[in-house]
């Protein structure tokens, strides 16, 4: 399917563009350029007043309680002063940003003129990581290391996510640039850009970025018509998975699950989930334009370590899935809302009166708003869109699908008119700073905004709890429960609305709070980029922030029309440089038999400072001895976290024992990756090249000659004898080594 978009039939091309246009509301908004805001504004006198009395945003070009320390236009390689000046910008639109270590990865919607062919920028942010003072931040520069080429100007690179080691990124693409007048005729490719390129259609790309100067595509999953809108990488049971959102329904919408093989460098489709269930289990997904599979985040749950998926399904609300088995995803929660665009869990629990509470954020996206004709079912239908703080504490405590409640909400402006998405929240990133939960928000023309959570004792308010909302609630038909005690008939399809129109949230606040803590906390920088460089087919507004992400106290924002900014909030401390850490793994064994222990040693070969270490072992293995440590479930594995820091040259040791569940356990086991923390265990960095894959020969100890795949009976018997002798010898060595009776 590696065809140029021009080779697609005209009928197919029109169908794709028409379908996406209907979903994005383009038919209503037209070619939205410039600014078209009007109407009164109820918050003009309030603490969030950013607008004049006629609803036109002011404070453009200003920052309050934050400061912009860095900018790069992404116009060329090199530092801000050489390749990143505003008058020599990227020509075209910019989309998502993700950060890992000393690098940011920025995807591009389109590229024209001198920027032709560019799809992804790799930006060095090390100078900001190293800065310890305001003066050093003032001197820091963003540096573009390289560009990854997009061979097809009809295809937009919509989203980028890194893996946990920083060796790979995954990019979702869609063939939609023509829809916004961004096709980019007369391409002028730059020979210095990476010669690797993406395919010609909507796809999921796997890109090797281990060499930041020479990114290289390693695999492509194609054939998604309107393409992959967003994606996310997560490690489950030691395996790499990429979760990808195929947006609107043409018989193929839903959450696609790919396994990524680092050795074979390949993406393999293993499942697709829709509100009707898993394709891997034989179900067929349904949907429609109101059930746009938009965005996905995956987290190892902060309470139980279970891989948990937060899926934004537009009018289907925020769907929460147990992802411990990627082949059989189980819905465990729902936060009903309209236009559910973005949902992300807090990175850890919030402490309330000694109790640990699980929370998440979910937000609207508003393509266009007319407060005089608001959307039915939305209590804030004439606003810039709302960000909700969601109570997700019960998702693993109750059978069936839990309806999650609202704890607090934030809306920037009410009673407005706008088009082209200009005043809507978009992509955000939660983070803890000095024990307090913040949300770093990319808010289109609202710029980069900073919200803080003030926790309290209330539980979230559900739609079912609020009599003022009537009876309009969503009910799932996946056989695993529903949101309001009403069982939908199987004939209802993937979702139905019971006794009313689709209903959004209450906007009733509990005693929690989500707000800009100083009354106005934002950065809305404007650079002198030329008009012709902007993505005018959507909006030429400045600022126009697609996404914001926090990294070690600095917020990096990708602006559609301007480039990348580095921003620091006045109340948030930057953490300084990421220490260099090199860890070597030494395992006793490459082959285990059942119920056999082996020693694993982790040596800090080199490091800038003492760090905490943790390793991961398979979920059914057990640590039977070792240096002081704790173990806990984490992402389908068992984490082995050492109590004390490890200095350069020092070694920590543990003994891992294999399970004894019979021959069915035979196969490759995954240990690692090793991770380090320089902040007391609050955040962890995975280290590339620290995994190992010993083989487990799951021989039944009670039947030494039992057949084992790939082993003869004689070999099995020999291994069994070896197991008994070596296991006892190893236990004796471990006891002697740690001066304990293990």
Q: Does residue 714 fall inside a structural domain? A: yes
Q: Does residue 243 fall inside a structural domain? A: no
Q: What angle do CA 686, 603, 726 make, to 5 degrees?
A: 105
For residue 686, what are the domain limits? 581-738
The neighbouring-strand residues paired with 711 are 708
Q: Does residue 110 fall inside a structural domain? A: no
Q: Does residue 40 fall inside a structural domain? A: no
Q: Does residue 617 fall inside a structural domain? A: yes
Q: What is the pLDDT of residue 184?
A: 63
Q: Does residue 553 fall inside a structural domain? A: no
| Model confidence, pTM | 0.84
- Identify the CATH number of the domain in which residue 707 sits: 2.60.40.1930
Q: What is the pLDDT of residue 169?
A: 98
Alpha-carbon distance values, 333 to 275, 317, 536 (Å): 12, 10, 39
Nearest residue to 364 (alpha-carbon basis) of 431, 413, 298, 401:
413
Q: Where are the alpha helices (DSSP H) in 405-506?
A: none
Virtual torsion, Cα 45, 47, 51, 57, nearest 10 deg: -170
Residue pair 530/85 in contact by the 8 Å Cβ criterion: no
The neighbouring-strand residues paired with 563 are 559
Q: Does residue 730 fall inside a structural domain? A: yes
For residues 542 and 428, give the distance between their C-alpha atoms in angstroms, rounded to a whole number: 18
Query: Cis omega (within 30 of 0) on the bond before 543?
Result: yes
Please write the tens of the pLDDT for every residue from 428-448.
999 999 999 999 999 999 999
Q: Does residue 699 fall inside a structural domain? A: yes
Nearest residue to 317 (alpha-carbon basis) of 337, 296, 302, 293:
337
Query: Cis omega (within 30 of 0) on the bond before 361?
Result: no
Q: What is the pLDDT of residue 281?
A: 57
Ranges 12-21, 296-305, 410-419, 516-525: which has the least confidence: 12-21
Task: Give the SS3 label for residue 324.
Answer: coil
Number of domains the chain is built from: 1
Residue pair 661/698 in contact by the 8 Å Cβ criterion: yes
For residues 333 and 527, give the distance between their C-alpha atoms in angstroms, rounded to a whole number: 43
For residues 266 and 105, give the distance between their C-alpha atoms in angstroms, rounded to a whole number: 21
Please write the tens of the pLDDT for every residue from 325-381.
999 999 999 888 888 899 999 999 999 999 999 999 999 888 877 777 777 766 677
Residue pair 119/111 in contact by the 8 Å Cβ criterion: yes
Mean of the per-residue pLDDT values of the chain: 80
| pLDDT grade for 530, boundaries at 50, 70 and 90 | very high
Mean of pLDDT values over 268-277:
85
Please write the tens of the pLDDT for every residue from 381-399.
778 888 999 999 999 998 8
Q: What angle do CA 281, 283, 287 make, to 5 degrees?
A: 140
Nearest residue to 596 (alpha-carbon basis) of 424, 456, 724, 415:
724
Instruction: Please state the separation of Cα 597 from the chain's center in Å.
Output: 37
What is the length of the chain? 742
Q: What is the pLDDT of residue 339?
A: 85
| pLDDT grade for 290, boundaries at 50, 70 and 90 | low
């Amino acid at each position: 399917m590696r065809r140029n978009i021009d080779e697609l039939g005209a009928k197919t091309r029109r169908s794709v563009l028409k379908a996406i246009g209907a979903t994005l509301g383009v038919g209503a908004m037209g070619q939205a350029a410039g600014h078209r805001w009007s109407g009164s504004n109820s918050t003009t006198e309030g603490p969030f007043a950013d607008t004049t009395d006629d609803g036109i945003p002011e404070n453009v070009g200003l920052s309050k309680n934050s400061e912009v320390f860095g900018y790069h236009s992404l116009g060329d390689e090199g530092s801000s002063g050489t390749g990143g000046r505003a008058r020599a910008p990227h020509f075209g639109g910019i989309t998502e940003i993700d950060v890992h270590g000393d690098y940011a990865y920025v995807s591009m919607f389109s590229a024209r003129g001198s920027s032709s062919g560019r799809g992804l920028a790799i930006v060095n942010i090390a100078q900001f990581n190293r800065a310890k003072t305001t003066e050093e931040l003032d001197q820091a520069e963003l540096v573009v290391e390289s560009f990854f080429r997009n061979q097809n100007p009809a295809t937009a690179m919509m989203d980028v996510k890194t893996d946990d080691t920083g060796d790979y990124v995954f990019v979702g693409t869609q063939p939609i640039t023509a829809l916004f007048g961004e096709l980019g005729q007369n391409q002028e490719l730059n020979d210095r850009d990476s010669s690797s390129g993406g395919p010609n259609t909507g796809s999921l790309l796997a890109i090797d970025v281990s060499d930041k100067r020479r990114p290289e595509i390693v695999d492509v999953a194609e054939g998604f018509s309107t393409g992959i809108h967003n994606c996310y990488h997560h490690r489950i049971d030691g395996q790499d998975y990429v979760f990808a959102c195929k947006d609107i329904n043409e018989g193929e919408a839903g959450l696609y699950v790919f396994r990524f093989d680092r050795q074979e460098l390949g993406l393999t489709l293993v499942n697709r989930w829709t509100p009707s269930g898993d394709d891997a289990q034989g179900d067929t997904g349904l949907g429609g334009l109101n059930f746009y599979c938009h965005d996905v985040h995956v987290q190892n749950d902060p309470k139980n370590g279970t891989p948990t998926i937060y899926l934004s399904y537009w009018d289907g609300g925020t769907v929460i899935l147990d992802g411990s088995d990627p082949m059989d995803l189980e819905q465990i929660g729902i936060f009903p809302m309209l236009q559910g665009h973005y949902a992300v869990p807090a990175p850890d629990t919030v402490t309330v009166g000694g109790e640990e509470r699980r929370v998440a954020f979910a937000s609207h996206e508003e393509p266009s708003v007319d407060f005089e004709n608001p959307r039915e079912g939305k209590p804030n239908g004439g606003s810039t869109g709302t960000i909700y703080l969601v109570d997700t504490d019960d998702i693993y405590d109750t059978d069936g699908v839990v309806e999650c409640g609202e704890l607090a909400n934030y809306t920037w402006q009410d009673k407005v008119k706008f088009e082209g998405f200009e005043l809507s929240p978009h992509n955000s990133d939660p983070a803890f700073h000095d024990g307090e939960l913040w949300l770093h928000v990319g808010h289109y023309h609202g710029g980069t905004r900073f919200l803080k959570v003030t926790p309290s004792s209330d539980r979230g308010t559900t739609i079912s709890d609020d009599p003022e909302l009537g009876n309009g609630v969503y009910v799932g038909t996946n056989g695993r429960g529903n949101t309001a005690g009403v069982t939908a008939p199987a004939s209802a399809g993937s979702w139905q609305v019971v006794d009313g129109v689709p209903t959004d949230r209450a906007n009733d606040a509990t005693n929690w709070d989500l707000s800009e803590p100083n009354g106005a906390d934002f950065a809305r920088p404007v650079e002198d980029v030329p008009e012709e460089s902007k993505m005018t087919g959507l909006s030429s507004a400045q600022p126009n922030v697609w996404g914001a992400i926090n990294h070690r106290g600095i917020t990096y924002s990708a602006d559609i029309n301007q480039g990348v900014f580095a921003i620091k909030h006045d109340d948030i401390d930057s953490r300084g440089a990421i220490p260099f850490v090199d860890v070597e793994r030494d395992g006793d064994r490459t082959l285990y038999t059942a119920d056999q222990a082996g020693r694993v040693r982790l040596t800090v070969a080199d490091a800038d400072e003492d760090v905490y270490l943790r390793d991961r072992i398979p979920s059914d293995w057990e640590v039977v001895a070792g240096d002081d440590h704790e173990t806990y479930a984490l992402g389908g594995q068992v984490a082995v976290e050492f109590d004390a820091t490890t200095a350069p040259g020092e070694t920590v040791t543990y003994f891992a024992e294999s399970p004894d569940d019979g021959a069915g356990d035979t196969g490759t086991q995954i240990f690692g990756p090793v991770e380090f923390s320089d902040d007391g265990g609050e955040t962890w960095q995975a280290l590339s090249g620290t995994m190992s894959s010993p083989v487990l020969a799951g021989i039944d100890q009670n039947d030494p000659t039992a057949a084992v795949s790939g082993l003869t009976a004689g070999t099995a018997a020999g291994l069994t004898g070896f197991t008994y002798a070596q296991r006892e010898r190893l236990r004796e060595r471990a006891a002697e080594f740690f001066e304990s009776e293990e």
